[in-house]
Chain A
Amino acid sequence: MKRTGAQILWECLVREGVTTVFGYPGGAILPAYDAMLDYPIRHVLVRHEQGATHMADGYARASGRVGVAIATSGPGATNMVTGIATAMMDSSPIVCITGQVGSKLIGSDGFQETDITGVTLPVTKHNYLVTRAQDIAPAVREAFHIAQSGRPGPVLIDITKDAQQSFCEFDWDSAAPKPHARPERIMNPASISRALDLINSAERPVILAGHGVILANASSTVRQFAERAQIPIAMTLLGIGGVPASHPLNLGMMGMHGEAWVNTAIQEADLLLAFGMRFDDRVTGNLKTYAPNARKVHIDIDPAEIGKNVGVDVGLVGDLREVLQGLLPDVAPGQRTAWLRHIDEMKGEVAVRDIKNLPDDGHLYAAHVINDLWRATSGKAIVVTDVGQHQMWEAQYYHHDDPRTLITSGGLGTMGFALPAAIGAKMARPDAEVWVVAGDGGFQMTMPELATIAQEKLDINVAIINNGYLGMVRQWQEFFYERRYAATPLLSPDFVKLAEAFGLAGAAITKRAEVVPAIESARQHAGTVVLEFRVEQEDTVYPMVPAGADLHAMIRRPSPLVETAEDA
């Protein structure tokens, strides 16, 4: 039976397991929208196409399944670019479908025509311009394969209006993705034995656990590995949740806002085991002085990452879990008591964390809010953060024990990510408790998606950490630009009234004592609650390694503060 290209598109998406798409209709994608009504698809109408891509991204990160966003040509497609770039940097599997002007019009500067495959070339894993109905099924099937295989990433399919409208035979089987010829990567036995030698002879090893731990479902294998050899683990921002925060070998987050003992351990290490991470400049600091005494073993699925930023002694390319399972039997059980004790001692000096020293006499600190949120939700919520100070405080003070419970834009650092990504996460895992933690700046970038929440009747709670500044930029101005606060003071709307305008509940919190009751009442409330926490305005994320500085050259919180009984 012949079908239209639009019908074939949905037929394929449904067969790929898609139940939910995030999108915004328009002229060039209208045939697809019309056909959609006949398929079992829940369409979430976004308020801006950037939101659709972040929702697809949040959906993918919360579930591990491919997220799908759909938009029209021209501005609909270009609005997606930020979300696509975000997914690219953080290896998130999403498929974006865009309408395109009719194939005869391509190249004529037609109404709402944009060369979106050209625009997104550097920020997609792959993309397609489809101009014939019979090419839709192979493109969709291959797109889903590419998005999820190897190092995941975004794929865009641009489909002309006439390809959506014209008829052709639909044959699912013959549209199966053809294998792209690739030389088979055979793990070099010499590399494996060299890696094992380094591991078994190391006295001061540290595991650097990245996003790959989560993407490869390697959490339990990494734990087994670490426990067997007694090797402490440092996490990247996106690695958080890959290993339980409560695990005794888990040191915490590394890098620019990592704990001092974590960065010091890395600098003193004699072996770094990089598991699915990419030595971003935010985790290494100055490369010339980075872990100067350490040998490096790098395991990653992407061969282009090996040696990209940091020269390594051994690079093993492959699925992290499979590689580790292969190594595990030959990893010698270790003690490494002296090394672990040494790190413990470093930790001891600062074991009472900065947060716990903050006075709560009439002040409200963001760190308190995050820490209280962690306690109130027993660390079990999916927390979706935006980008900035609150993001770092979340990483420091919300202790995630499970993979896929922290969803945050790491590589691209996309402000405005949190609210739409949380919608995607909630759609993927409707039974999970989902919290947005956003700053007053980033929240305002995508806040119209509150209307999406209202329309879809979602139960997501939102914590706005309002300090009246673009806080992280202000912090840099404080440290490096003599407190010249260029364009960082920020006027916000009344967020409580704003929530109410969307038909949602809202509350403002100004005192520490009000934090837990407000969180509890938001959790009890059926439906979304927007909590505005009016926190200290010029608070600073400590510790901090200035950009490009040596990893051990951390700026610490300057003054000793009083510990409160409540936090002890």
Chain B
Amino acid sequence: MKPHTFVVTVEDLPGVLNRISSLFRRRGYNIESLTVGHTERPGVSRMTLVVLTDGPGAERFEANLYKLVNVISVADITDIPAVFRDLAMIKVAAPPERRPEIVHLAEVFRARIVDLSPDSVTIEITGGEDKIDGLLDVLQPYGVLEMAHSHDPQVSYSV
């Protein structure tokens, strides 16, 4: 069992996401993450799915996806080199006297400050999971108030 990443293009119609999530539920697939977005083609949406399964399970998952009429293509890109980026927004407690340290830490991680309030700072970071976890570790002592973390779409390398 390991995480398998699928890029699935689907017809952009109401209820398609429901059809896909229903498939997960009724076949008992363990979903790690799901991202939906537009593609370069009108009327076509793209989903990036990460599912914990074994090799034959991944093949059946692909076959089950193809049984959904609105699915256009399925690609298992687990073993294909790809660029992938996670995105996280982290809101940290930051009274004015500690702000400079936090801003400095963000710079070290090449993260951006996207919001500032009298007692908190919100930092946006993209990158691999390790990098995001690293920033999170050093921010924890200041008090992480809120975090939103998403696995963003992956794009395979051009060959």
Chain A: residues with CB nearer than 8 A to chain B?
117-118, 121-122, 125-126, 129, 142, 146, 180-183, 302-304, 306-308, 311
Residue of B nearest to A317 (CB): B63
Residue in B15, B22, B73 whose CB lies within 8 Å of A122: B22
Could you tell me if B69 and A126 are in contact, using CB atoms closer than 8 angstroms? Answer: yes
A122 and chain B: residue at smallest CB distance = B26
Asked if residues A302 and B63 are in contact (CB atoms below 8 Å), the reply is yes
Q: A304–B23 Cα gap in the complex (Å)?
A: 12
Which residue of chain A is the closest to B68 with respect to CB atoms?
A126
Residue of B nearest to A150 (CB): B67
Does B98 count as interface, using CB distance less than 8 angstroms? no
Residues of A within 8 A of B59 (CB): 303, 306-307
Give 18 pairs: A residue, B residue, CB < 8 Å, sorted on A.
Answer: A118-B18, A121-B18, A121-B22, A125-B69, A129-B14, A129-B15, A181-B72, A181-B73, A182-B66, A183-B73, A303-B60, A304-B60, A304-B63, A304-B67, A306-B60, A306-B63, A308-B60, A311-B56
State in angstroms the CA–CA spacing of A122 and B26 once bound together.
Answer: 8
**A180:B72 contact, CB within 8 angstroms:** yes
CB contacts (< 8 Å) of A121 on chain B: these are 18-19, 22
| Interchain CA distance A129-B19 in the complex, whole Å | 13
- Looking at chain B's contact residues, the main secondary structure is helix
Tier of interface size on chain B:
10 to 19
Q: How far is the CB of B45 from chain A (nearest CB, A)?
A: 14
Number of inter-chain CB pairs below 8 Å: 40
Residues of B within 8 A of A307 (CB): 56, 59-60
Partner of A146, one of B19, B69, B73: B69
By a CB distance below 8 angstroms, the chain B residues around A126 are 68-69
How far apart are the CA atoms of A126 and B72 in the complex, in Å?
Answer: 15
User: Interface centre among B19, B59, B69, B72, by most A CB within 10 Å?
Assistant: B69
Q: Give B26's nearest chain A residue, CB to CB.
A: A122
Q: Which residue of B lies closest to A312 (CB)?
A: B56
Q: Does B64 contact A (CB under 8 A)?
A: yes
B67 touches A302 (CB 8 A): yes
Chain B, 23-68, CB within 8 A of any chain A CB: 26, 56, 59-60, 63-64, 66-68
Instruction: Kindly list 6 other residue pairs between chains A and B, CB separation below 8 angstroms, not including A302-B67, A306-B59.
Output: A118-B18, A121-B18, A122-B26, A126-B68, A303-B66, A307-B60
On chain B, the residues within 8 Å of A181 by CB distance are: 72-73
In the complex, what residues of B have CB within 8 A of residue A180's CB?
A: 69-70, 72
Residues of B within 8 A of A304 (CB): 60, 63-64, 67
A-chain residues with CB within 8 Å of residue B19 when the two chains form the complex: 121
Q: Which 6 A-B pairs have the closest CB atoms?
A: A304-B63, A303-B63, A126-B69, A304-B64, A307-B56, A122-B26
Query: Which chain A residues border B26 with CB–CB below 8 Å?
Result: 122
Quote the shortest CB–CB distance from A314 to chain B (angstroms).
13
- Distance in Å from the Cβ of A508 to the closest Cβ of chain B? 45
> Which residues from B are CB-within-8-Å of A142?
69
CA distance A125 to B67 in the complex (A): 8
A117 and B15 form a contact (CB under 8 A): yes
Complex alpha-carbon distance, A306 and B56, angstroms: 9
B15 (CB) vs chain A CBs: closest residue: A117
Most chain A CB within 10 A, of B18, B63, B68, B70, is at B63
Identify the closest chain A residue to B57 (Cβ): A307
- Smallest Cβ distance from B131 to chain A, in angstroms? 36
What are the residues of chain A within 8 A of B68 when measuring CB–CB? 126
